[in-house]
A and B are shown apart, each in its own frame.
Chain A
Amino acid sequence: MVRIPGRQTARDPGPVTINSRLLPSLLDEEKLAARGPVNILDFGRANSSSLEFFNRFPCRLTVLDAAESLVAWSHQLEQRMEEPPSQQQMRHELAGLLRLPHGTLPFDVVFLWDTLNHLHEYALPAFAALLRKELAPGFKGHGFMLHKRGTEQRLRHMGLAGPDVVRVNESRDDVLYAHNRRVVNDALGPALQVDHGVLHGDGRLEFLLVQGRS
């Protein structure tokens, strides 16, 4: 069972900022400006501070606003686990849910936010297969991973407040899916790899996602 009941609080603490040591490796403004239009995939909800940041250099930003629909889909998947769908079926369902743009350039930068914890463990390989088809060689991804039992579980909507600051714009209680790093790396397959990780005080692991060796 991958659902781990965590400590929960009812109130929304309002906007909270998180300092990041990993974001600057994705968001070096000089490098981004120099490389020409950057293709960015954001699994989160569109927000003013992220847009303000990305307005500084030429880029294409694709916003999926996927958190709530992925959590709802994963909760439904739990009800189907007596006869679980195939990985191919889940890829098909996730593709329909995410509606990733087709025929566009692959993505250079990916903001996953808490997406891995919105997905049931069984669906992680299907998600990874879908994602890796959309990524440019040498892409970089960023996200958070809820992996410790007892960590507060909240569905968070986040954005960028600067090149090294994440802002949690909204959050609410929900049941998420905690995965440890080994499970995630196995699910991602050889083409994707969780690279650097920084453990934060709230028990979440901030990570970079990079191209694997194969």
Chain B
Amino acid sequence: MIGAKVKVNGDIISSEDLLVEGEVSGTITLKDNELVVGSSGRVQANVNAKTVRIEGEVRGDIEGGERVVICASGNVEGNVTAPRVMLEDGGRFKGSIDMGSSKGAPAAKPAPAPEVRPIDKTA
């Protein structure tokens, strides 16, 4: 889990499920696992995961191997590629969705080396 007070700049590659409640900039790759962007999560990254569930905010391209779910509190701006894309009522989305195929997603851009630091509460 990336907590609400954690900010990550860089690439995240994981073979475990991941919950993001903090801020991530860069790329997130969880080929065989689930990514959840929690309600306080803010992601500016290209994302590649087996399933993606968004309750917070994502700016970037999302590739889901199985499905992508944008929840009622979710807000996504970017391109989504997944065999199945679901949007709960109230969820916001702006961009393109490739449906019925997981191929053809834009490649993730290289990002700087990982840097993990707590967010300044006074910021």
Q: Is B96 interfacial (CB 8 A cutoff)?
A: yes
Q: How would residues 78 to 120 of chain B score, 1 for a CB under 8 Å from any chain A CB and 0 otherwise?
A: 0000001111110111111111110000000000000000000
**Interfacial chain B residues near A101, Cβ < 8 Å:** 96
Distance in angstroms from B64 CB to nearest chain A CB is: 13
**How many residues belonging to B are interface residues under a CB distance threshold of 8 Å?**
18
Q: Given the known A-B contacts A47-B89, A51-B85, A55-B85, are A61 and B97 also in contact in the complex, defined by CB atoms under 8 Å?
A: yes
**Contact between B99 and A46, CB atoms less than 8 A apart:** no
Q: Is A57 interfacial (CB 8 A cutoff)?
A: yes
Q: Given the known A-B contacts A48-B86, A48-B87, A51-B85, are A60 and B98 also in contact in the complex, defined by CB atoms under 8 Å?
A: yes
Q: Choose among B89, B93, B99 the residue that contacts A55 (Cβ–Cβ < 8 A).
A: B99
**Interfacial chain B residues near A45, Cβ < 8 Å:** 92
Q: How far is the CA of A52 from the CA of B86 in the complex (A)?
A: 7
Q: How many A-B residue pairs lie within 8 Å, measured between CB atoms?
A: 59
Q: Is A87 interfacial (CB 8 A cutoff)?
A: no
Q: How would residues 42 to 85 of chain A score, 1 for a CB under 8 Å from any chain B CB and 0 otherwise?
A: 00011110011011011111111100000000000000000000
Q: Given the known A-B contacts A60-B96, A64-B94, are A37 and B89 also in contact in the complex, defined by CB atoms under 8 Å?
A: no
Q: Please name the residue on chain B nearest to A61 by beta carbon.
A: B97
Q: Given the known A-B contacts A48-B86, A51-B86, A51-B87, are A58 and B93 also in contact in the complex, defined by CB atoms under 8 Å?
A: no
Distance in angstroms from B18 CB to nearest chain A CB is: 25
* A-binding residues in B (CB < 8 A): 70, 84-89, 91-101
* B-binding residues in A (CB < 8 A): 37, 45-48, 51-52, 54-55, 57-65, 101, 104, 169
